[in-house]
A = this chain, B = another copy of it.
């Protein structure tokens, strides 16, 4: 069922779509040289086509290996170690050095070697995917891959995390409230439209190419809330999924599918979806077999069960392990994986009840099940215990289930971070999470923990001409992929890398001012956004439903479990063991004690863990109330400064006028919104506390 025709061009031919981090110019260094590509197979064909396209554009040449190999001097060799073609001498030298440096080491499934010998740049891989990723490493290096020195020490690149996944919350049918893409801020879906496939497979291919270029190798193509037509993607609409898989496969990306736990009832007309019922298990096994006949490299199922109204094993008195393992068993013969989401909590909480704590829910549900999940079940957990707020502590689930495979979920779509109307570069936040050490300074990092599992991001991509609504939001998708490949990468270096690929190489004038401006706008934008919004980790002071813009009490008296408990004396949620909900006890030492202690708890999470008076002195020396005022004045001023910088950019030769206008329009909205956050939050707390701003600034 896998399509075997080779496309003549793999570059984005999609009209009116921004090339993002793969402008043609990014291939100039490769395309202007003679090169060899050794090896055979679909992904090697992809590499060969990419190199050939670049050569056609920039005057280089490429040979296919085999009889051509060594026919003339080449500057670049991309080769599979096991390819039958006669190895190029420089490639052999690179491989030899690698084996000398790391005796017995494998290059790895997706890894590659990159070196330079005798003026020839060499990329070697054991497997085709490695060669593809090596090609994109060359793209990033540009001319630097080709000298000026004739030698370059061999580098061994391989991903820290085996599965680097993007989840689309794209609906097949337009949802009456959520639209075509749930929490999507980039137009429609690139996969679906009005109940069927969008049918723009060229766009899907262009997307796959971008994902591969930043290291992503898995995509889930539909929303985890699976309704209507989407339920049937598993059965009679499977062809729609297979068509997408055919495009993604060319770039080493496997397709995953969100499924409805009640599918045996909805689709199979069974009386139950009980995971221990033999007929139900047989139904899922058959379903899995059918999927693999259509998509032999299918990745697996993503499941949101017993959460926010979705069906799940609780309906049948079964555990989440029962449910997940049933699906795992169905997929196991075919090498598929279950991503079982840990986002399970009571969304009909009584706001009067201060003992129920949504932050506790995932750990309370899942920690007792540790060890019960099958080997191909991955528990997918949001990185924080709540829901992608600008500041949260780490989810204790990540430290709490040592015998369970984990996928740590990030949110590239900016639901709570400005909805792609605001610049908010999330790389630093994700980097902080990945580098966090849940077991203390001598323990492993979150990235170490995820290495045996997956990293996942909720997509921020749509059918928008810039892919992501805000053109600068492309950086979040790029940074996610790159951090998933190498969690220790400096997110600011990745930002500069993205700026270079996306903007600087195509500039016809001096790109310096643009680099500086983009860097200045983006490097601190997450912390600036944090300053604009809910203070000190308390979260959720947003408009209910759409989550854009401030509403301090918006969720305070709702069933959603997201409260700040501000009164005339103070604010914050007491989650201590001593006097609160006991959530701090879900962490291992030392964090269980650090967070428990009012003295030790980091300022930025203070109100997540403690209820304190407005007069409470922070480590910064300021009172809580003054911190609220100061940060909101600062946040708004920073937004204004960002717009001002963008306006000062040179008018010509640096950035496309349409993109300049789009960014300016969004920065203007960001300024307006930051002022709204400033004034609403400050006014709310001034009215409530009666404490004036120490600096006498305007509070309404």
- Where the two chains meet, the residues of A that have a C-beta atom closer than 8 Å to any C-beta of B are 351-352, 550-554, 557, 566-569, 676, 679-680, 683-684, 686-690, 700
Contact = CB atoms under 8 A, between A and B. Distances in A.
Contacts of A688: 567-568, 687-688
Nearest to A553: B553
A569 B683 CA distance: 14
B352 A567 contact: no
B557 A680 contact: yes
Interface SS majority for chain A: loop
Given A352-B679, A550-B557, A552-B553, A567 B700 contact: no
A350 to B, nearest CB: 9
Q: How many copies does the complex hold?
A: 2
A569 B690 contact: yes
Nearest to A569: B690
Given A351-B700, A552-B553, A557-B676, 20 more contacts: A352-B679, A550-B557, A551-B553, A551-B557, A553-B684, A557-B680, A557-B683, A557-B684, A566-B687, A567-B686, A567-B687, A567-B688, A567-B690, A568-B568, A568-B688, A568-B689, A568-B690, A569-B690, A687-B688, A688-B688
A687 B351 CA distance: 14
Contacts of A352: 679, 683, 700
28 contacts: A351-B700, A352-B679, A352-B683, A352-B700, A550-B557, A551-B553, A552-B553, A553-B553, A553-B554, A553-B684, A557-B676, A557-B679, A557-B680, A557-B683, A557-B684, A566-B687, A567-B686, A567-B687, A567-B688, A567-B690, A568-B568, A568-B687, A568-B688, A568-B689, A568-B690, A569-B690, A687-B688, A688-B688
Nearest to A689: B568
A683 to B, nearest CB: 7
Ranked 8 nearest A-B pairs via Cβ: A567-B687, A553-B553, A352-B700, A568-B690, A557-B680, A568-B568, A688-B688, A568-B688
A357 to B, nearest CB: 16
A687 B550 CA distance: 20
Contacts of A676: 557
A332 B684 CA distance: 54
Contacts of A567: 686-688, 690
Nearest to A681: B557
A700 B686 CA distance: 22
A550 B558 CA distance: 10
A551 B550 CA distance: 15
A182 to B, nearest CB: 17
A654 to B, nearest CB: 36
A673 to B, nearest CB: 13
Contacts of A700: 351-352
Nearest to A680: B557
Contacts of A351: 700
A568 B700 CA distance: 14
